[in-house]
């Protein structure tokens, strides 16, 4: 059974008219990652997906208020010499969460973030 790292009650303050960009940064070497961002007011087929590192526009802050935005990452690290998996999640360039786990703890972690966009 793969380990799920769940990060709930994350809050990000962004002004209403600000365009929000979500980014994934691979800190440790050798990570392969697929991240899906579930935007509450969009149909699932329009949810952005980031393969490995990158960014996606997820809309204006005022449209993200209310329900939590759910971010889900499926990660694997294929380099035997790398003993740590570290991923940084950012909103508009600001660090929201630094996930870090030892590969001895889990080599294929699943990461779940629940983010509320507040004023």
**Tens-digit pLDDT profile for residues 8-38:** 999 999 999 999 999 999 999 999 999 999 9
The phi, psi pair for 62, rounded to 5°, reads: -60, -25
Q: How far is CA 71 from CA 43, 78, 85, 104, in A?
A: 15, 23, 18, 24
Beta carbons of 110 and 3 less than 8 angstroms apart: yes
pTM of the model: 0.95
List the one residue out of 41, 108, 107 whose CA is nearest residue 73: 108
Total number of domains in the chain: 1
42 confidence band (pLDDT: 50, 70, 90): confident
Total number of residues shown for the chain: 119
Provide the domain limits for residue 55: 4-118
Q: What is the largest CA-CA distance in the chain?
A: 45
The secondary element (H helix, E strand) that includes residue 62 is helix 61-64
The pLDDT of residue 73 is above 90: yes
The pLDDT of residue 119 is above 90: no
The pLDDT of residue 41 is above 90: no
């Amino acid at each position: 059974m793969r380990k799920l790292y769940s990060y709930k009650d994350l809050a990000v303050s962004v002004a209403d008219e600000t365009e929000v960009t979500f980014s994934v940064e691979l800190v440790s070497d050798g990570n392969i990652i697929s991240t899906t961002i579930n935007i509450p007011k969009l149909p699932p087929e329009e949810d952005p997906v980031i393969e490995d590192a990158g960014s996606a526009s997820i809309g204006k802050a005022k449209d993200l208020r209310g329900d939590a935005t759910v971010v889900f990452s499926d990660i694997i690290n294929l380099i035997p010499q790398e003993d740590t998996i570290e991923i940084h999640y950012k909103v508009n360039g600001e660090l929201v969460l630094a996930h870090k786990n030892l590969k001895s703890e889990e080599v294929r972690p699943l990461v779940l973030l629940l983010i509320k966009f507040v004023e």
